[in-house]
Amino acid sequence: MRAIVLLCLLHAAFSERRRYSWNGPIQLTTTMSPTPNEDNACLTDQMSCGCCLMQTQMERMEGFFNLGLEEMRNELTRAKKVLDNMRARRSAFSVALSSESAMKCHVPLTVNKNIVYQHVFLNLGGGYDEHTGIFTAPCSGVYSLALTLYGNAVFLGEKLSTCASLRVNTQVVGSILERNGSDREDSATVFVTVKLKAGDQVAVSLLEGCFICDDNNHYNTFTGFYLYSTD
């Protein structure tokens, strides 16, 4: 850049139509130094021609630089948009039935009833409602769901009946069934991967006549997380 400025200054100094004497510069008339034909500027004034060529090259380089910069900005905007979409789609929850120190059993009496898991380990994206026990899918995609049940007949004085179903809206996608078994306690897990639509509701239904028991050891858990989009 300094070299270009120097060349242009030299050109300005030498191209100015003046001659010098002991008394200072004297302006030449047009008859003394006629203006060369602009078409033949490079033949009569090579310094001017070189300066113009360098200026043209600089303008081209500046254009390429601006073009590359604009493309980089566009790529950055697209990357930020993808990242924002990924963040908006993040969804994961993991909950347990109870945090009470004493073992407590939950009995639905004579009707099926959604289990409300009150202890929340994680609720990323806010899809799980701890007041209803329902997880609502925030976006369409593939999800993994896991359910673990535990029952202890010792606390009820009767045979073990631990059973529940994992439901998407009204459809059963997985079940655990243990009715009138001879043992006094039992634990089982079901794990499924399902395709959900945005707004689909997932819940665990404790079946009629069955019960589950829990304390702060968290024997009963319900977990789900988003894997990838299907849009």
Percentage of the chain beyond pLDDT 70 is 72
Query: Residue 12's closest CA among 68, 60, 51, 61?
Result: 51
> Alpha-carbon distance 57 to 63, whole Å?
10
Kindly indicate the confidence band of residue 65, based on its pLDDT and cuts at 50, 70 and 90. confident
102 pLDDT more than 70: yes
Q: What is the pLDDT of residue 226?
A: 95
Q: Which fold has domain 90-228?
A: Jelly Rolls (2.60.120)
Per-residue pLDDT tens over the stretch 5-25: 454 544 544 444 444 444 545
Residue 164: name the closest of 154, 152, 153, 150 by CA. Answer: 150
Q: 192-201 pLDDT, tens per residue?
A: 999 999 999 9
Q: Which residue has the tokens 């896991």?
A: 146
Domain residue spans of the chain? 2-87, 90-228
Structure letter (DSSP) for residue 217: T
Which pLDDT band, with edges at 50, 70 and 90, does 28 fall under? very low
User: Which tens digit of pLDDT belongs to each residue from 129-166?
Assistant: 999 999 999 999 999 999 999 988 776 656 678 889 99
Write down the H helix ranges in the chain: 2-15, 41-44, 46-89
So what's the pLDDT on residue 155?
Answer: 64
